[in-house]
Structures are given as structure tokens and as C-alpha cells.
Amino acid sequence: MRGKWGGGAALAAVAAQVGPAVTWLPAARRALAPGLAGRGPRGGVALTFDDGPHPEATPAILDVLDRLGWTATFFVLGEQVRRYADVATEVVRRGHEVALHGDAHRYLIARTPRAARDDLHRAFDTVAALTGQPPLWWRPPYGVLSGPALVAARGLGVRPVLWSAWGRDWRSAATGESVVADLERGEVDGGMLLLHDSDLTSDPGAWRSTVAALPLLAERLGAGGLAVRTVGEHVRR
């Protein structure tokens, strides 16, 4: 009997650890946790960037956003904020929102509950201290959730959000045109768009396709009458 109950407890622990990761799949996300897609009111999109700050990519993207008159949300990594604190503070100075992507860009389901908690807490403290803007939103690395990380995020008061459309701008073959085409394959109107302002986990220099995509995206969104918002403007907490 002890063995039977022990096995059940182990299975329950595994399910709690890896079960939430299924929401990485768009179909599972829509069925099980539609709020994770970051859907907001139609007539606009939430524009988001992951994996920064980066000393070249982030300033280049900020300059394009300035020219377009857009504000966006940057899901930053704690270790990158400590490395490039001046870039992180510039994101906030220019009126953008910073959100949490974790401390190190590692799969949370491969980490112990304590390691996952420590990662989120260290990242949160870093971002709040160095930017002066405590994060309200959290997107896990690779968009893969774990049970312990969700518990830690709740304790910090940050809400998990993933995306409804991505530009696959991490590929060496990506171009401005391909990034916009990939975004348009997802849910755009009322959706959350995922791009990157770093090549930390992408092919070297892939962020240049993101920079090239933004003016093209502006044409498409403008033609559809869609406004660009931060996550905080787009999604109700």
C-alpha cells in the first residue's frame, strides 16, 4: 500500500511540474487557458519583445518604435538587465513597459521548484531595482510554464501571458517580410505579437529581421486600423 501511494504522489508531483507546459501548444492554450494568449479588445494589438536587453538590438528597435510612435512591452531577462542596465533604463525612459522573462533563459520544467522560484525572484528584484518599474507580467522562457514557477509568479503578483502570434524572427533565414508573414498566420486583431530584441537564444544577428519588419508591420496594422499597445494597455489584470 505504501508503494502504491508513494507512486501516486510521485506522479502527482510530476504532473504539477510539467502539466502546465502543455499550454505552449496553441490548441491546448485556447482550450485550457485562453487568457494566456494575451487577447485584448479588437482594434489593436499588444506588441512584445523577448530576451533583452541587448546592446545593439534593443536601441535599434527603440529608435524604430520612436519613429512609429509606438509603445511596447519588453519581457527582459534579469541577467541581461544586470549586464546592460543602461539599456534597460533607456527602455523605461522612452515610455515602454518592462515585464519579466525570468533571470536565465532556461526551461523551467527542467529546474527544481526551488530553482524556479529563485530564478523568478532574482529577476523580479533585479528589474524592479534597476529600472524602477516592478514588473506586472511574466512570460517564461520558450513560453513553457511549470507548476512551481506559476506558484512563484502568483506570489510575486505577476500575471503569466504567452502570445497569439509570433514572427519566428530568431531564424537566420528570417527577413522583414517573412516576420510579418509569420505574424499574420496567427491571431493578430486583438492579439499579442511576439518578437525579439536580442539574439541571445537566436541565430546571430537575427534581430535585424525584426528591425526590418517593424515598418512593414506598421503598414499592415495601419491598413487594418489596428492600434499598437503595451500589454498593460491591452490586457485586463
**Average confidence (pLDDT) over 117-123:** 96
- pTM equals 0.89
Candidates 3.40.50.300, 3.90.100.10, 3.90.79.10, 3.20.20.370; CATH matching 2-234: 3.20.20.370
Nearest CA-CA partner of 197 in 57, 72, 76: 57
pLDDT tens for 67-83 read 999 999 999 999 999 99
50 as an active site residue: the answer is yes
Of 96, 196, 199, 234, the catalytic one is 196
- Indicate the residue type of 89: T
pLDDT of res. 16: 46
Task: Indicate the angle between helix axes 207-223 and 176-184, nearest 10 degrees.
Answer: 50
Instruction: Provide the mean pLDDT of the chain.
Output: 89
Residues sharing a CB contact under 8 Å with residue 181, sequence separation 6 or more, in sequence order: none
pLDDT single digits (tens) 184-202: 999 999 999 999 999 999 9
Q: Where are the domains of the chain?
A: 2-234
Q: What is the pLDDT of residue 45?
A: 98
Least confident of 22-31, 45-54, 130-139, 167-176: 22-31
- Name, in order, each residue with C-beta under 8 angstroms of 8's C-beta and a sequence gap of 6 or more: none
**Is the Cβ–Cβ distance between 158 and 124 less than 8 Å?**
yes
Q: Are strands 227-229 and 137-138 parallel, antiparallel or unpaired?
A: unpaired
Of 142, 138, 139, nearest to 201 by C-alpha is: 142
Q: Out of 50, 51, 169, 197, which one is annotated catalytic?
A: 50
> Given pLDDT bands bounded at 50, 70 and 90, which one contains residue 23?
low
- Check: CB of residue 205 under 8 Å from CB of residue 59: no
Tell whether the torsion through CA atoms of 195, 22, 145 and 110 is positive or negative. Answer: negative
Q: What is the pLDDT of residue 189?
A: 97
Is position 196 annotated as part of the catalytic site?
yes
> Where does residue 178 rank: exposed (0-12), middle (13-18), buried (19+ CB within 10 A)?
middle
State the pLDDT at residue 166: 96
